[in-house]
Structure 1
Amino acid sequence: MEVHLVHYKSSYGSLANASNFEDGLAVVAFFLQAYKHLPKDTGFEYLVKAVHSITEVGSSAFLNHLSITRKFHEKSWSGGYYTYNGSLTTPSCNEVVTWLVYPQYIPISEKQVDVFRKLKTTEGSKMVQNFRPVQPLNDREIYYATSELNIDTLYHFRGRV
């Protein structure tokens, strides 16, 4: 499972507005690996509880974006991350995102993953196979950063999970 923590530059006022500017968004991506036999709390029980509170179309749950980004960072830091300028994964796929991708898998219990599998789209169908196909590089440069990301640098961005 892949998790995207979407942050928009606060000076643009909203996610929708920031999506119109090349420096408008930063997305931090993490990969989760489900395991059958893990302790109940793998450090993400607060996230699972928040998902449980999303019961109807249009409802949401508040999570402190710096706290959750920091938690994912702590669980996945293995000496580096990939970064590149790319696009949104959903239409209109604007090329306005600075991606930070952590390659290390984070363990999560299958029971916790099942909570996410129960989420539904606005049309009421299961939220599965919701990924964008791999896109051509189009001369993009991908960097591997070996210095630890200072999560506090995301302070000027507002987050959404």
Structure 2
Amino acid sequence: MHFIALALIVCCSVSFSWANEWGYPDLDSNQDEPFPKWGGLCDSGKKQSPINLHVKGALKGEFDSLRFENYDEHQKNLRMVNNGHSIQLSGFDHELTLSGGALLQDFVVEQIHMHWWSEHTINDIRYPLEVHIVHRNTIYPNMTMAANFKDGIVVIGVLYHVSNTPNEAIGSIIKSLGAVKSYDSMNKPVLVADSLAVDDLVPSVESYFTYAGSLTTPTCAEAVTWIVLTETFPVTLDQVNEFKEIEYDQGKQLHNNYRELQSENNRAVVLVEQPEQRSGAAGLTASVSLGLMTLILAGQKIML
């Protein structure tokens, strides 16, 4: 069992101060090893993440496009750290701002991290890699404060499918991975050798799922609006295996770092598509307005 003692973690991984040890089962060694209980809201919460996302079961939503500011700017001073449960990137040269869609405020990127395998599944399919781009609502001064409010955090989840073609952006990250793989280098940030634009990690955003959920690591605060893109990016298994060599303890590798699926608990999951991508579908389709979407993401129940 991968158990990691942490006094403070920033992640969704946005984790925060957590007194107990927590970790992941080593499913590469034992596929039957159960996922542990992490305690607190992680076990008692009703809006936990990740969840399985079903196209057929989702409400249909249509909004203005999401707006990304400075995501195309190459970041030349990115820092990478092995924090014992993931690889995290931070230290952006520019303020990267997300707005539009169903979001009522501006959100800025705080950090990026990876999960191998994916945490979310789409139509019951788990992917080999999921990248989380973690944003803070600008009305809150820091992530710790933002985690106390339902509108505090937005996380964009990008899933990666297996391909024979290496992913260039992931390859840029892997180039610096050797400096942080060992346990001795844990919590010691290094400069990412290649400049990287966050846009390079994000495929088309014309279609995505959104729902009200939580951080996927302790404290599992239910403060996250999730935006999980339906379009996936290619990555090779060799590239994914590079992340599996990260050590969380002396000589012990982090073979996987995903949380098991959580109960949906009758939450509304909205599938947002641009009009030009919408195809005719049989059956009842619910169209969600911005006002109704605000209620959904605030956790209000709706009846259809």
Structure 1 length-normalised TM: 0.72
The ranges of structure 1 where at least 4 consecutive aligned residues each deviate by more than 4 angstroms after the TM superposition are: none
Cα distance in 1 for residues equivalent to 2:174 and 2:232? 18
Q: 1:62 Cα shift?
A: 6.3
Q: 1:33 Cα shift?
A: 2.2
CA RMSD of aligned residues (A): 2.6
Residue from 255, 258, 271 that aligns with 1:128: 255
Partner of 1:23: 151
Structure 2 length-normalised TM: 0.41
The answer to whether the 8 Å contact 2:134/2:153 transfers is yes
The answer to whether the 8 Å contact 2:180/2:188 transfers is yes
Q: How does 1:22-61 map to 2 (within 5 A)?
A: 22-35=150-163, 37-38=164-165, 40=166, 42-55=168-181, 56-61=185-190
The answer to whether the 8 Å contact 1:82/1:103 transfers is yes
Q: How does 1:1-161 map to 2 (within 5 A)?
A: 1-35=129-163, 37-38=164-165, 40=166, 42-55=168-181, 56-61=185-190, 67-68=197-198, 70-73=199-202, 76-77=203-204, 79-121=206-248, 123-124=249-250, 125-147=252-274
Cα distance in 2 for residues equivalent to 1:44 and 1:146? 27
Number of positions where the alignment pairs a residue of Structure 1 with one of Structure 2: 140
Gapped regions of structure 1 (runs ≥ 5): 149-161
Cα distance in 1 for residues equivalent to 2:190 and 2:156? 19
Gapped regions of structure 2 (runs ≥ 5): 1-128, 276-304
Q: Which has the larger radius of gyration?
A: 2
Q: 1:97 Cα shift?
A: 0.4
Cα distance in 2 for residues equivalent to 1:120 and 1:9? 32
Q: 1:88 to 1:48 in 2, by over 3 A?
A: same
Partner of 2:302: none
SS for the counterpart of 2:256 is: coil
Q: Which has the higher contact order (CA 8 A, sep 6+)?
A: 1
SS for the counterpart of 1:133 is: coil
Q: 1:126 Cα shift?
A: 1.9
Q: 1:110 Cα shift?
A: 2.7
* Cα-to-partner distance string for 1:127-157 (whole Å, 9 max, x where unaligned): 2332222111123111111139xxxxxxxxx
Percent of residue pairs identical: 27
Q: Give the letter for the 1:58 counterpart.
A: N
